[in-house]
Amino acid sequence: MSFYQDAVTGLNSQPKWLSPKYFYDARGSHYFDLICKLDEYYPYRTEMALLPTVAEELDQWLPKQVVIVEFGAGSLHKIRPLLSTSQAIRGFIPIDISAEHLHNAGATLQQEFAQLEVKPAVGDFTQTLQLPHLELEKDNQRIPKLGFFPGSTLGNFTPDEAREFLRNARQSLGPDSMFLLGVDTQQDIATIERAYNDAKGVTASFNKNILVRMNRELSTNFKLDQFSHRAIFNRQHSRIEMHLVSDIEQQVTLGDKQIRFARGESIHTENSYKYTPATLAALVESAGWQLQHTWQAPSAAFSEVLLH
């Protein structure tokens, strides 16, 4: 579905919603990088602190050669410790929906790791993906794939969507694949809510970027100062929700339609589900993967799991 069709469906639903994948144009990717530098945003720094240990130990679980495929690769920060340490990784396929950002990040990484074959692929990981062909495999020599999905991006899916994604990933990666998954296992609600309500308002700008993008690409007329960012923890679903709340009663034009907003009505823009080690294990196993090894941050706020 196109951005326009998705927006029509989401904004005519009750409650209103938009898919978080539309945060990520070049500006949205830049805001996400700024979020990662915030004091409040524990997931990024907790996972970055854990990855060197993962990198040190990873090869004992891997075949002699693998190609690593990162889903939602962003600025390619998290792949670097793995590429610097692992002897098994021969090729790298970063996949992202944010095309310009991906190509820039891929070119920089290729210069840094000249021996590695880097083949960025623009794509939507909610759809079935055809992986690009690598030079390494040109004589029909297939190299097993290691999926990599850090940043707790899995948490942006509902558990049913997450299961579907993990099943599809297994199909895309092919036989003998493995998967390294980074998931937020923070359980302290105040810490979680602080992470998505930073004092500088960067997360608010990231959230509102979806309206900026609609105004530019879909010719809507959202007034940014008439919507407020709200992030609240939903205990029933164990997820933090991001919303854009209309401060007044108003109408917004989308194509030939008027979208009505009551005062206080929200557009639900993102979920970030928080897992426990037990709920995570149950999810991945229900998607047909087996848990091979778990690395947990000392604070228990983040887990990196290796699946096969």
The residue to which tokens 């951005």 are assigned: 3
* Cα–Cα distance measured from residue 267 to residue 233, given in angstroms and rounded to the nearest whole number: 16
Size of the site for ligand SAM (CB under 6 A): 19
Q: Which of 85, 104, 110, 126 binds ligand SAM (CB under 6 A)?
A: 126
Q: Is 213 in the site for ligand SAM (CB under 6 A)?
A: no
**Smallest distance from ligand SAM to CB 152, Å:** 7
Angle formed at CA 69 by CA 67 and CA 72, multiple of 5 degrees: 165
SS3 203: helix
Q: Which stretch binds ligand SAM (CB under 6 A): 8-16, 90-98, 166-174, 237-245?
A: 90-98
* Cα–Cα distance measured from residue 84 to residue 151, given in angstroms and rounded to the nearest whole number: 19
Cβ–Cβ < 8 Å for 290, 308: yes
Q: Is 279 in the site for ligand SAM (CB under 6 A)?
A: no
**Smallest distance from ligand SAM to CB 48, Å:** 9
Q: Is 151 in the site for ligand SAM (CB under 6 A)?
A: yes
Query: Cβ closer to ligand SAM: 153 or 185?
Result: 153
**Smallest distance from ligand SAM to CB 263, Å:** 31
The 10 Å Cβ neighbour count of residue 216 is 11
Q: Is 32 in the site for ligand SAM (CB under 6 A)?
A: yes
**Smallest distance from ligand SAM to CB 265, Å:** 25
Cβ–Cβ < 8 Å for 66, 145: yes
Helix H or strand E segment including 121: strand 121-122
Q: Which of 56, 112, 124, 285 binds ligand SAM (CB under 6 A)?
A: 124
* Cα–Cα distance measured from residue 25 to residue 144, given in angstroms and rounded to the nearest whole number: 31
Q: Which of 51, 62, 78, 242 binds ligand SAM (CB under 6 A)?
A: 78
Angle formed at CA 110 by CA 64 and CA 174, multiple of 5 degrees: 40
From the list 83, 80, 101, the residue with the least C-alpha distance to 31 is: 101
Cβ–Cβ < 8 Å for 179, 147: yes
DSSP 153: G
**Smallest distance from ligand SAM to CB 109, Å:** 13
Q: Is 227 in the site for ligand SAM (CB under 6 A)?
A: no
**Smallest distance from ligand SAM to CB 62, Å:** 20
Q: Which of 17, 31, 42, 125 binds ligand SAM (CB under 6 A)?
A: 125
Q: Is 239 in the site for ligand SAM (CB under 6 A)?
A: no
From the list 70, 226, 54, 55, the residue with the least C-alpha distance to 146 is: 70
Q: Which stretch binds ligand SAM (CB under 6 A): 95-103, 107-115, 227-235, 276-284?
A: 95-103
Query: Cβ closer to ligand SAM: 98 or 186?
Result: 98
Q: Is 91 in the site for ligand SAM (CB under 6 A)?
A: no
Q: Is 209 in the site for ligand SAM (CB under 6 A)?
A: no
Phi, psi (5° rounding) for residue 70?
-100, 125
Q: Radius of gyration of the chain from Cα atoms?
A: 20
Query: Cβ closer to ligand SAM: 88 or 96?
Result: 96
- Give the N- to C-terminal CA distance of the chain in Å, as an integer: 32
Q: Is 24 in the site for ligand SAM (CB under 6 A)?
A: yes
> What is the contact surface with ligand SAM in residues (CB under 6 A)?
21, 24, 29, 32, 72-74, 77-78, 95-98, 124-126, 150-151, 153
